[in-house]
Structure formats: C-alpha cells, structure tokens
Amino acid sequence: MAYSVQDAGTHYWYSDDAQRERSVAVLEAMRTYRAAESAMRSRTQRAMGLGENDLLALRYLITAKQDGRSIGPKELTTYLGISSASTTVLIDRLEKAGQVRREHSPFDRRALILIPTATTDAEIQAALGDVPERMVEVANRLDPAQAKVVVDFLQNMRAAVDEIDAHVDSDVPPARSASAQP
C-alpha cells in the first residue's frame, strides 16, 4: 500500500521517524511536480522554438505588462541572473522573432522598455493548451484552510531556497543550526 501524508496524521504515537517519512513524502511529491512542470516547459519551448531563458523572459514581460509595469533590459538581466551582454543577445533574438519590441520609456526617453507583442501571449497560451485551466481546477478543489496551508508551505519553501541561494552567493558560510552541531 502506498504511503499517504493523510494517513500519517491519523495516529498520535508517530515517532520522529514517522514525521521524517511524512516530510519525505511531501518533498517527493514536490520533486515529481517540479519534474512534470519542467517537462511541460520543455514542450512549450520546443513548440515555440524558444530556449529556457527566452520563455522565462517572455513570461516575466507578459506578467509585468498585465500588472501595468514596464520592464527594461536591466530589470530583465537581474530577473534572469545573466550578464547584460547575454540579455542583449536574448532581446535581439526575441525582437527578431517578433516576440518583443523595444520602446522608449514614457518617463525617461533615454531608457528602453521591453514590450511583449500581442501574438506572444497568444502563442504561449496555444502552446500550453488547457494546462492553466487544469491547474486552476485542481487549486479550486482546496477548501480555504487547505489553500492557506499550501500557500504557507510553498512560501516557506521558497524562503528556504532563497536563503540557500543567498549563502551560495556570499563569501560567508551559513550559520549552523543547533541541530546540526556535532
């Protein structure tokens, strides 16, 4: 019989080993979800003839546009974590493909902003098919308490990963927790 996180909480005598087993089950479920999402992104990239950074950039620009924000090359460089030279090559490639256009900022004519073209969002939606709707349907099945638990958990996991990235980028090793002390 497969282990279920729900089954793990039904008995009060579970030991630390059982807690670890529940944690491993949750992390394994996250890993398999990430693998499925990664495969979906790869299919979308192939369908659109885009690289990973191309698709990430387009999704970022589309989201910013929907939020009423303008993004310039510098912000895109920071978001993608690539060099300004690589960003220029990426923007040139997306512009040549008709995915993005450069415009002068309405607030500072010296600055450029990047605008996804009208067809870009439609192409991404067509490549994704009904996947976004399926994901919303799954999320809709959560009651408010379950949704809060999921959101809190994912935000805490994001913070944990961001903290790890911060330690990797710094010259200072991370502090060891009390439980990690010999």
Digit-coded pLDDT (tens) for 63-100:
999 999 999 999 999 999 999 999 999 999 999 989 99
The yes-or-no verdict on residue 11 having pLDDT over 80 is no
Residue 121's pLDDT is: 77
Task: Give the span between the Cα atoms of 151 and 137, in whole angstroms.
Answer: 16
Secondary structure string (H, E, C) spanning 92-160: HHHHHCCCEEEEECCCCCCCEEEEECHHHHHHHHHHHCCHHHHHHHHHHCCCHHHHHHHHHHHHHHHHH
Residues pairing with 71 in the sheet: 114
- What are the structural domain ranges in the chain? 1-48, 51-135
Residue 143's pLDDT is: 97
Residue with tokens 């900022």: 105
Residue 168's pLDDT is: 54
Digit-coded pLDDT (tens) for 118-175:
888 788 777 777 888 899 999 999 999 999 999 999 999 999 988 875 555 555 555 4
Task: Give the span between the Cα atoms of 121 and 141, in whole angstroms.
Answer: 27
Q: Of 70, 155, 172, nearest to 116 (Cα)?
A: 70
CATH architecture group of domain 51-135: Orthogonal Bundle (1.10)
